[in-house]
Structure 1
Amino acid sequence: MGIFEIFKQSLYSPSFYRTLPRRPFSFSVKYFYTLAIAFSLALTIYFAAALLPGLSALMKTIIPEAIETFPAELTVTIENGEARSNAEEPYFIEFPKKLEMLGDRDSDRRLAVVDTKNEFTPERFREYNAYVWLGRTSLIFGDENGEIRIRELGDFPDIVLNRETLRVLGAKAEESYGWLVPLLMTAGVLIAFVLLLGYFSFNLVYLLIFAVLVMVIARFRKLELGYKDSYRIGIHATSPALILMVLSLVGVPILPFLFTAVSVAVVWANLQPEITSPLPA
């Protein structure tokens, strides 16, 4: 019996549901994971086709865009764990509009400040309203939640930073694009597939509770079902509703509890006592 035929009978076939207790448990598990893998693969392809071209272009342009944000007139030297600059300090670097696509941020917040003259204080950092402060002996980071992290410049190698040296470093990084970008994209696709499969697999945990509901419906239908058989029936009865999970992942609004409502309707329609024809007189 093919997967499409099983899916069709799982949607509506009282005779099919009556045969489930006589089938091996692996029949239902294999059916569920065939569906889950198929849906996960389809969604992975969908998301990859929608997102990867843009991500590929972003990865190839992010370093050049970032380099061009470094002021042409600024040179920063880090030597023996101490920083100095050729600019009048504090020197502010505004957040470039081209990098605003990277995420939500405070629109008034600066990208960085170079101040090697004044000692760091949280109050002064808040006054500078920057994400990064390059001080004389430390590099200070602040996030949107107000948390502050400090790295000592002694942890960094000696370096002279200006736009030209950054371009040289960027060119070296771009040499790895030929293998790094495909590798990262392949890893992203595999991770997405595994996460989607795990998302659908969570349905098996949900069925631990739904099986009790199946037993209650069976009582109303004048049928006696054990917990194991109720769980198996749940696997098949909820499989049509997996389509709702797919639709929700691609942005289609789904009413709360619609998954359960559809599954209950399928159980109610398919749990019917076997009707025997009366013997002829």
Structure 2
Amino acid sequence: MKKLKAAIYVFINSLTSPKYYQHIVETRFSFSLKYFAVLALIASLITFSSTVKPITRDLSEGIGALETTVLSAYPKDLIITLKSGELSINQPEPYIFVMPKDFAAEPEDAEPVAKTPSNFLVFDSNGTLNDLEKYDTLILVNKTNILVQSNNKVEVYPLKDYPDGELTAETLRSLATEIRPFLKAIPYIVLGFALLGTVLYYFGFRLAYLLIVSLLLMAFGALRGLKLSFSKYYQVGLHAITLPLIVEVLSDAFQYPINYPYWFLMLNVLVGVIGIFYIKNGAAKSNVDANTKP
């Protein structure tokens, strides 16, 4: 309970009391580092918790929709056979899969990109590179290769690199059933990486970023004639980051981005500069008191 009260006391004063910064430079560096560690941990958890529901919902819905689209789009009477590096189908060619509407549609706020092909996949045993444009398709499969349009170029995948097999609507459904448990795990795997990324952001990037803040505060302190070591300026930065960190967390949690360049750095430095003013004034007052003693 005492540690909790102490942590709350440090948090409130780092946030609201510039005079408290006079006390900060008198404490050990480890004290400020522990404070930042607790602050960063709480910020990480709040930021992460605000993304859990959207990530799991969007990924789960997206994976489910993709599975449904693939299974419903595959014709019941289509059999694809690959043997000795050569592909054949049991239907007249060219056999065309039209581009699904969900794939072709673009968000209203999306930036202009290359036109989406009207067809997703075309089987033509005698198809060539030129037929990609002729069929207006994303993928063209001929007897021996898979041709794919990608970033204004065509990538070729030889079928000889794939094992022999046969694909039907039934085998596709069986495959979907087998991999479904793994697909359901994808949102949680992504969440794990999201949590790791959030922690690294606060404990890695922000600690490195504070080196820049400390240099700026050190330059200002030198102009004010304040003689402190670099580690003390870094300590000031560790506490001065409290306000911008809270603003950033709330901005992320409520999905209200702050579109102002370097606002975090400027706010962090501003709080630190105010703290340095009080540190300097406190040091000057101490010198005056010492000189006026009888």
Give the TM-score range, shorter chain: 0.7 to 0.9
**1:155 aligned to which of 147, 150, 161:** 161
2:61 is aligned with what amino acid? Answer: A
1:267 is aligned with what amino acid? Answer: G
1:28 equivalent to 2:32? Answer: yes
Q: 1:67 to 1:183 in 2, by over 3 A?
A: closer
2:63 is aligned with what amino acid? Answer: M
Describe the superposition over 1:34-89 as per-residue Cα deviations: whole angstroms up to 9, x where unpaired.
Answer: 11121111121111112213322333443232121123443322122111123332
Q: How far, CA to CA, are the matches of 2:217 and 2:77 in structure 1?
A: 73
**1:230 aligned to which of 206, 227, 233:** 233
Q: 1:3 to 1:130 in 2, by over 3 A?
A: farther
1:89 equivalent to 2:89? Answer: no
1:18 equivalent to 2:22? Answer: yes
**2:197 aligned to which of 195, 198, 220:** 195
**1:135 aligned to which of 127, 130, 142:** 142
Per the alignment, residue 171 of structure 1 pairs with: 177
SS at match of 1:136: coil
More displaced stretch, 236-245 vs 217-226 = 217-226
Q: How far, CA to CA, are the matches of 2:293 and 2:227 in structure 1?
A: 29
Per the alignment, residue 269 of structure 2 pairs with: 264
The CA deviation at 1:13 is 2.8
SS at match of 1:89: coil
Describe the superposition over 1:225-268 as per-residue Cα deviations: whole angstroms up to 9, x where unpaired.
Answer: 22221111111112221123324545323122221222232123
Describe the superposition over 1:89-145 as per-residue Cα deviations: whole angstroms up to 9, x where unpaired.
Answer: 222211112455899884444211101123x32x332333322211101222222x1
Contact 2:117 2:137 in 1 (8 A): no
TM-align CA RMSD: 2.8
Contact 1:77 1:160 in 2 (8 A): yes
Q: How far, CA to CA, are the matches of 1:155 and 1:108 in structure 2?
A: 27
Per the alignment, residue 69 of structure 1 pairs with: 73
TM-score normalized with structure 1 length? 0.84
The CA deviation at 1:157 is 2.4
1:124 is aligned with what amino acid? Answer: D
The CA deviation at 1:211 is 1.2
Unaligned runs of 5+ in 1: none
The percent of aligned pairs where both chains have the same amino acid is 27
Contact 2:24 2:236 in 1 (8 A): yes
Q: 1:173 to 1:102 in 2, by over 3 A?
A: farther
The CA deviation at 1:15 is 4.1
Q: How far, CA to CA, are the matches of 2:249 and 2:153 in structure 1?
A: 38
Q: How far, CA to CA, are the matches of 2:246 and 2:18 in structure 1?
A: 21
Q: How far, CA to CA, are the matches of 2:249 and 2:134 in structure 1?
A: 47
The CA deviation at 1:280 is 9.8
- Paired positions, count: 274
Q: How far, CA to CA, are the matches of 2:41 and 2:224 in structure 1?
A: 33
**1:38 aligned to which of 31, 42, 67:** 42
Contact 2:117 2:138 in 1 (8 A): no
Contact 1:12 1:270 in 2 (8 A): no
Unaligned runs of 5+ in 2: none
2:200 is aligned with what amino acid? Answer: G
Contact 2:213 2:237 in 1 (8 A): yes
> Structure 1 segments of 4 or more deviating over 6 A?
101-105, 277-281
SS at match of 1:241: helix
